[in-house]
Structure 1
Amino acid sequence: MKIFALLQEGRQYSLVWPVRPELNPVFLENKVIQLTALGFRYLPGLAVLTAFFQLTMLGSGFTGQILAMMLFILSLPLQGWYWLGVRSSTRLPPALINWCRQLHQQMQEQGVETSAVNEPRHYSDLANTLAVAYKQLDKTFMRPWL
C-alpha cells in the first residue's frame, strides 16, 4: 500500500509545484512534471498502437512480450509520480533551507499571508512556499534568487 501513497503524494506534489521556466535550471521537478503529463496524454495511445503493429507483424505467439511492453509503456507516467512522491518527502539541503527562509521573509516584508509553511524541511514545503510566492508576489521576485 505504500506505493499507492507515494503515487498519490507525487500527484499532489505535481499539482502544487509551480511549473515556471525560470525554475528549470535549478530544479528537475519542472521537467518531470511536464514529461509525466505528456506521458499520461500520449503513452496509452502509443501502447495500443505498438501492440497492434506487433500483433500484426509477429502474430499471437508473442502475446506475452507484447503485453509486457504495453505495461512498461503504460507505467512510465506512474514512474514520474513515484519520483515526485519520493522527492516531495526528501529533506532539503541546508542551502535550500536558507533560501526558502529568505524567500519566506521577503514575502512577509511585502505583506503576503505566509501561512503555508513556517519552517521548511522537505521539498513539499519548498513547493508550497514557491506556489504562494508566485501567486502573491510580482513576476520579478525570483530574479535576485536565481
Structure 2
Amino acid sequence: MKKIVFVFSLIFAATFSINAQDISDNAIGLRFGGGNGIGGEVSYQKALGSNNRLEIDLGLANEFANFKVTGLYQWVWNLENKFNWYAGAGGGIVSASGTGIYAAGVVGIEYNFDAPILLSIDYRPEVGVAGGLDGLNSDVALSVRYQF
C-alpha cells in the first residue's frame, strides 16, 4: 500500500512540475470540423497567461442564417519541443433549428512551426442544455492558425 501511495504521489508531483511552453499572445485561423457541429469555424485564441488561453470560435451555415459561437478556457502543457497538448471547458450559443445553449469541453494536440503557424487537432464533446442542440454531440477538427 505504501508503494502505491508513493507512486501516485510521484505522478501527482510530476504532473504539476511540467513546464509549460510559452504560447502566442494571439492566434487567428480556421477550424475545420465534422461530426454534429456546423463544420468550418473562424477561430481566435488570446493568451491569458504563460500556459492558459481563451478560444472563441464562430461557425456559420445555411447562407449565414444559422450560427454557432463557442467560448473555451484552455490549459496548455508542453509535450516535447514544439508539441503541446491542451484541455479546456466552456460553452456556447447555437441558432440551428431554434436558439440553444450548450456546455463544451476540448482536448487536443498542437504543433508550433518555426514560422508563425499553429496546427492542431482536437476533440470537442458538447452537451445541449436548452434549445435546438439537445443531448451529446461530438466534434473532431483540424485547425490552422496564424500567430501574432
TM-score strictly above 0.5: no
Name which one, 1 or 2, has greater alpha-carbon Rg. Answer: 1
Q: TM-score, normalised by structure 2?
A: 0.28
Instruction: Name which structure has the greater RCO, CA cutoff 8 Å, separation 6+.
Output: 1
| Structure with the higher strand share, 1 or 2 | 2
